Amino acid sequence: MSIITVELGARSYKVIVENGLLARAGEHLAPLSRGRTMAIVTDENVRPHLATLQASLSAAGVASEAIILPPGEGSKSWATLELLTDRLLDLGIERGDHVIALGGGVIGDLVGFACSIVKRGCGFVQIPTTLLAQVDSSVGGKTAINSRAGKNLVGAFHQPALVLVDPTTLDTLPLRQVRAGYAEVVKYGLIDDFEFFEWCEANAAALLAGDADARTYAIAHSIAAKARIVAEDEYETTGKRALLNLGHTFGHALEAEAGFSDRLLHGEGVAAGMALAFGYSARRGLCTGQDVARVTAHLRAIGLPDSAPAANINADGTTLVAHMLHDKKMDAGTLPFLLARGIGKTFVDKSVELADVTRFLDEQREMAAA
Ligand code: GLY
């Protein structure tokens, strides 16, 4: 078992990582229940895990009520938020209660946001069941829904009280989803941990094949990295937390071009986006062509896209950069980019000219077509 603490003073919380934890979740949740019925919010795809969780709550003497939402990004909407907050209020949720978010990033983001506004903020617990949610979105308190203007544009920082991670939930996750989540794992190596990138090169295949030790190590290591960064810069004001956005600006443009659909999963967009961030860094003379080749070779080896065409996006630079202008990181008309001086040497550059990024994306497209 690994226990990682996200150190945030009075709002500090633990992330527990353990194989089989879902079946023992009741022991950890009972102290938060205050003898009251706990609401569990989940989606249709997570039903088998819901049964395990409810059985473990019953065994710990805790009653629970499930709210089951439709799966998919469409649930991160005003309409579902309204439905969910009404249900939570109907259940009589109090500020001191803890709502359980059981599922992937969509459920975690939606439930977290609902809990940030119900009665001006109630407690919640994250039980992430996808790799992406386990290593990224369930930790750190970013919550959001999508709006007409774009993805994740309406939300709040609201930290969970506890995060329970059971890597065995990945046993039933489609391989494509595990791979997409893996992009956020290797991201931690690329940001500031060259040794972990080397570990990823050596162990990614085993992890994707379901090797329990590799999986658990990667998840715990990733969460520890994120916990350190969040503790240093909870509200993304100093530039430290912004490092977690490596690959996300390029990736966001690719995802937007794919209509934020299953054509390109978030992690797939991030993978191609990280390759582009390294490619652009090399073009600016910041890192070497060998760095780029090493990053792209690793992504390709595990079946993740390492370019826009590999992600089946053939839009030109102007179109992709237009998508970037809707990025919520826009700051007084400029867009900070995450660039790299090498593997494990990522930094924020606020002086990137979008016209130059447009040229770079057009060059990449021409090279792929040649
Ligand atoms: N997913 C990036 C962050 O939590 O800051």
Same domain, yes or no: 159 and 195: no
Domain count, the chain: 2
Degrees to nearest 5, angle at CA 370 with 339 and 303: 55
Protein residue closest via CA to atom 2 of ligand 1: 244
d(CA 26, CA 43): 20
d(CA 370, CA 366): 6
pLDDT confidence of 363, banded at 50, 70, 90? very high
The single residue of 241, 298, 323, 365 carrying the catalytic annotation is 241
The answer, yes or no, to whether residue 43 has pLDDT greater than 90, is yes
Same domain, yes or no: 53 and 149: yes
Q: What is the pLDDT of residues 263-273, one digit of tens each?
A: 999 999 999 99
Mutational pocket test of ligand 1: of 6, 113, 139, 142, the residue with most ligand atoms within 8 Å of the beta carbon: 142
Ligand 1 center to 39 CA (angstroms): 26
- Answer for the pair 275, 255: CB distance below 8 angstroms, yes or no: no
Final residue belonging to a domain, choices 172, 197, 227: 172
Q: What is the pLDDT of residues 286-295, one digit of tens each?
A: 999 999 999 9
Q: Is 49 a catalytic residue?
A: no
> Ligand 1 atom closest to Cα of 244?
2
Same domain, yes or no: 160 and 190: no
Q: What is the pLDDT of residues 201-233, one digit of tens each?
A: 999 999 999 999 999 999 999 999 999 999 999
d(CA 12, CA 3): 13
Q: What is the pLDDT of residues 238-250, one digit of tens each?
A: 999 999 999 999 9
Q: Is 248 a catalytic residue?
A: yes
Q: Is 142 a catalytic residue?
A: yes
For strand 98-103 and strand 123-128, is the pairing parallel, antiparallel, or unpaired? parallel
Q: Average pLDDT for residues 321-339, to the nearest whole number?
A: 87
Q: What residues have CB less than 8 Å from 13, skipping those under 6 apart?
A: 5, 6, 159, 160, 161, 162, 163
Same domain, yes or no: 77 and 146: yes
CA dist 87 to 42, 112, 137, 214, Å? 13, 15, 24, 40
Same domain, yes or no: 261 and 192: yes
370 vs 84, which has greater pLDDT?
84
d(CA 41, CA 107): 7
Q: What CATH number has the domain bearing residue 165?
A: 3.40.50.1970
Q: What is the pLDDT of residue 369?
A: 83
18 in helix, strand or coil? coil
Final residue belonging to a domain, choices 120, 153, 172: 172
Q: What is the pLDDT of residues 80-93, one digit of tens each?
A: 999 999 999 999 99
Same domain, yes or no: 90 and 194: no
Q: What is the pLDDT of residues 124-181, one digit of tens each?
A: 999 999 999 999 999 999 999 999 888 899 999 999 999 999 999 999 999 999 999 9
Whether the pTM exceeds 0.85: the reply is yes
The single residue of 151, 187, 245, 323 carrying the catalytic annotation is 245
The answer, yes or no, to whether residue 328 has pLDDT greater than 80, is no
d(CA 261, CA 264): 6
pLDDT confidence of 329, banded at 50, 70, 90? confident
Same domain, yes or no: 168 and 179: no
The single residue of 187, 266, 323, 365 carrying the catalytic annotation is 266
Q: Which domain holds residue 39?
A: 2-172
196 vs 260, which has greater pLDDT?
196
Ligand 1 center to 244 CA (angstroms): 6
Same domain, yes or no: 167 and 183: no
The answer, yes or no, to whether residue 79 has pLDDT greater than 90, is yes
pLDDT confidence of 254, banded at 50, 70, 90? very high
d(CA 163, CA 64): 18
Q: What CATH number has the domain bearing residue 245?
A: 1.20.1090.10
The answer, yes or no, to whether residue 332 has pLDDT greater than 80, is no
Strand order in the sheet with 38-43: 2-6, 13-17, 162-165, 123-128, 98-103, 38-43, 64-69
| 18, 20, 26, 32: CA torsion to nearest 10 | 20
Q: Average pLDDT for residues 41-60, to the nearest whole number?
A: 97
Q: Average pLDDT for residues 334-345, to the nearest whole number?
A: 95
Final residue belonging to a domain, choices 137, 172, 207: 172
The single residue of 179, 248, 298, 323 carrying the catalytic annotation is 248
Q: Is 266 a catalytic residue?
A: yes
Q: Is 120 a catalytic residue?
A: yes
- Answer for the pair 165, 125: CB distance below 8 angstroms, yes or no: no
Q: What is the pLDDT of residue 150?
A: 85
- Answer for the pair 146, 153: CB distance below 8 angstroms, yes or no: yes
Q: What is the pLDDT of residues 95-123, one digit of tens each?
A: 999 999 999 999 999 999 999 999 999 99
**Among candidate residues 203, 241, 337, the one with its CA nearest the CA of residue 283:** 337
> Ligand 1 atom closest to Cα of 245?
2
Same domain, yes or no: 163 and 189: no
Same domain, yes or no: 47 and 105: yes
pLDDT confidence of 236, banded at 50, 70, 90? very high
Percent pLDDT > 90 in the chain is 94
The answer, yes or no, to whether residue 23 has pLDDT greater than 80, is yes
Q: Is 328 a catalytic residue?
A: no
Amino acid identity, residue 286?
L
CA dist 357 to 2, 50, 321, Å? 41, 45, 7
b/e burial code for range 36-69 (CB count within 10 A of at least 16 → b): bebbbbbbebbeebbebbbebbeebebebebbbb
Same domain, yes or no: 130 and 195: no
The residues facing 98 across adjacent strands are 123
**Among candidate residues 121, 163, 110, the one with its CA nearest the CA of residue 2:** 163
What residue ranges line ligand 1, CB within 6 angstroms? 136, 140, 142, 241, 244
**Among candidate residues 9, 68, 1, the one with its CA nearest the CA of residue 28:** 1
Q: Is 236 a catalytic residue?
A: yes
Ligand 1 center to 303 CA (angstroms): 24
Mutational pocket test of ligand 1: of 15, 113, 130, 136, the residue with most ligand atoms within 8 Å of the beta carbon: 136
Can you tell me which residue has the tokens 């065994």?
59
Same domain, yes or no: 262 and 317: yes
